[in-house]
Amino acid sequence: MKGKISTLLIIFLLSVALIASLSCSSTQQMTSTKEAPPAPPVPAKHADVDFSKSCLDCHKTETPDAVAEWQSGMHGEVNVGCFICHGDGKEEYYPEPKAETCVSCHSGYVPTYAGLGVKDCFGCHNYHTLRFHAEDRGGFGQAAPDWIKTSTLASNFQHDKTGGE
């Protein structure tokens, strides 16, 4: 029965998709951007370190790739530090950042991803660079993917209208 439900769920979604005005072509394009972000290989608890140092003091050498990615992205550019998404490591620690955290600063973005076929911000954006997954893989340049522009869902996708850049 459980197996059936998941199959049926997909059928159901497709059958009611018309109501949400999803055109067939945009659905196909969507699936290409649906790949989940790579799970970061981090432990559930932060190592017991010298917490009098700042995150970057150690992570510059411990996880240089992550730091470089962060620096290359918008968060690095405007100095939104590790602790915002990951917690301070001691009081609170989120190895995988929670999507709810994003909307505290980006309230304009709230649920505009509903119906885009992704679960949360990270369905489209890489964790550290914040660029689109496909963009980081060289899939497209600075521009937004075409499906965002052409999809009839674009009216519900309001980053630029309300969320700043």
Partner 1 sequence: MSVSRREFLKLSAASAAASTIGVELLAAKTAEASPALQWTKSVCRFCGVGCGVMIGTTNGKVTAIKGDKLSPINKGLLCVKGFYLHKVVNANNRLLKPLVRKNGKLEEASWEEAMSLVASKFKETIEQNGKDSVCFYGSGQATTEETYVANKLFKGHIGTNNVEGNPRLCMASAVGGYLTTFGADEPVGSFDDIDHADLFLLVGSNTAEAHPVVYDRLVARKRKNPNVKVIAIDPRKTPTNKIIDLHLQVIPGYDLSIMHALANIVVKEGYTDEQFIKDSVSFSDGKEAISYEDYKKFLEQFTPEYAAEKCGVNAEDIVTAARWYGQAKGVVSLWTMGVNQRKRGVWLNNLMHNMHLITGKIGYQGADSLSLTGQPNACGGVREGGGLCHLLPGHRAVANEQHREQIAKIWNVPASNIAPTPGKHTVAMFEAIASGEIKAAYIMCTNPAQSLPNLNKYLQGLQDCFLVVAECFHPTETTKMADVVLPAAFWSEKDGVYGCTERRSQHQAKVNEPKGEARWDGDILIDLATRLGHGKNFEHFQSPEDVWNEYLLCTKGKDMDLTGAPYSRLKEVRGLRWPVPTIDHPGTDHRFTAGDPLFPEDKAAGRRMYFYARPDGRAVVFARPDLGPHEPTDDEYPLALSTGRVLEHWHTLTMTGAVPQLVRAVPECYVEIHPDDAARLGLANDDVAKVETRRGALDLKVRVIDRPRVGTIFIPWHWPEKLANVLTTDAYDPGSKEPEYKVCAAKISKA
Partner 2 sequence: MFISSIIVKVNPGTAKEIEKEIKKMGALTSYGIHKDENIIIVAETEKLYEVKAICSQLMHNYKDVTGVFPTYLTSDNDELEEHMLEEEMEAH
Q: Which residues are at the interface with partner 1 (CB under 8 A)?
A: 51-55, 74, 77-81, 83-84, 87-92, 99-100, 102-111, 113-114, 119-120, 162-165
User: Smallest distance from the beta carbon of 84 to partner 2, in angstroms?
Assistant: 19
Please, which residue, 68 or 118, has the CB nearer to partner 2?
118
User: Smallest distance from the beta carbon of 142 to partner 1, in angstroms?
Assistant: 9
Contacted entry of partner 1, partner 2, none for residue 37, CB cut-off 5 to 8 Å set by kind: none
- Asked if 117 contacts 134 with a C-beta cutoff of 8 angstroms, the reply is no
Please, which residue, 102 or 130, has the CB nearer to partner 1?
102
Side-chain-side CA neighbours of 70 within 13 Å: the count stands at 20
Residue with tokens 């620690």: 93
Please, which residue, 81 or 154, has the CB nearer to partner 1?
81
Contacted entry of partner 2, partner 1, none for residue 13, CB cut-off 5 to 8 Å set by kind: partner 2
Distance CA(163)–CA(158), nearest Å, equals: 7
Tokens of 102: 């994003």
Distance CA(153)–CA(19), nearest Å, equals: 12
User: Smallest distance from the beta carbon of 102 to partner 2, in angstroms?
Assistant: 12
- Asked if 76 contacts 70 with a C-beta cutoff of 8 angstroms, the reply is yes
Contacted entry of partner 1, partner 2, none for residue 148, CB cut-off 5 to 8 Å set by kind: none
Distance CA(73)–CA(76), nearest Å, equals: 5
Residues near 89 by beta carbon (within 8 Å), at least 6 away in sequence: 46, 49, 51, 55, 83
What is the three-class DSSP state of 125?
A: strand
The residues of the shown chain that bind partner 2, judged by CB under 8 A, are 1, 4-5, 8-9, 11-13, 15-16, 19-20, 103, 110-111, 114-115, 153, 155-156
User: Smallest distance from the beta carbon of 105 to partner 1, in angstroms?
Assistant: 4
